[in-house]
Structure 1
Amino acid sequence: MDAQASEPMVGGGADEPLPGQDERLVRCGESHRGRGGGGLDEDEGVAEGSRLIDLACGTGSLAVQAARRGAVAHGVDVSEEMLAFAQARAERFGVAPHWHRGGFLDYAHIGPLADVVTTKSALHQLPDLWKQQALRNAAGYLDTRRPLRCM
């Protein structure tokens, strides 16, 4: 069986959105397929004064990395334990990202739109029915000129 045939498609084709679909959802993760790591690459646009929201931030590694670069970083997670771990990590590095308890479906970002929205290894936790809504919510926190990054 062809490997591509078994992959679920978000849009009308490999790089083509369905009518009325946000094209950023089609590109979600595209630039990072096949790359190792999972941290923020230099070309991500995360720098002094930029804004990042990391959904399902877990241990806070991306939010802390962004804050260390001078970005205004927000880490969002449903787990109080993970947020406590993330806060301790940030303190070890001398940075202060903003931490929020919430999830893909109930977090409501207040403030300027983000330059970068990330999520890593978390969307699979949602039932299929809610994945598209989660991506729409995430895209709503994002400056319309920027892509949504899913790893």
Structure 2
Amino acid sequence: MDPSLVADAMRKSVPWVQTNGVEFTEVGVDRVVAALPDRPESRNHVGGPHAAMLFGVGETASGAVVMAAFGGHLDRATPLVARAEIAYRKLALGPLTAEAVLERPAADVVAELEGGQRPEFPVRVSVRDAEGVVTTELVVTWTLKPQR
């Protein structure tokens, strides 16, 4: 899939993206940056984005990098989250950016898929506040489930 089409595909196929105003500011085949605006209705009891919003923007950024890297294989495999780990490091305030980086070479993942396996691969995500401080870190492990 052409990386320039990923943002549009995410907006059309993932309603959460439009509902919460996620924008994709950078899209590459192994790295995506997504932005989440600060909205009062998405805040928690201490005035920052709710933990669900932090996870949501991070997982969404990871999904966009998966689409950029493996969108050309959607006719034979469905990308799914297998598991995720999250660490809340610092109180987040204001608008957020989430940088997602594919941790394995896409060619290795595709080779496993072509070899009849169901590959798993991590995407590392750093969520930063408006000052650029990392507030949240995620590792989202994805799989490509072969179509049967």
Q: TM-score, normalised by structure 2?
A: 0.24
With the length of structure 1 as denominator, give the TM-score of the two structures.
0.24
**By percentage of residues, which structure has more strand?**
2
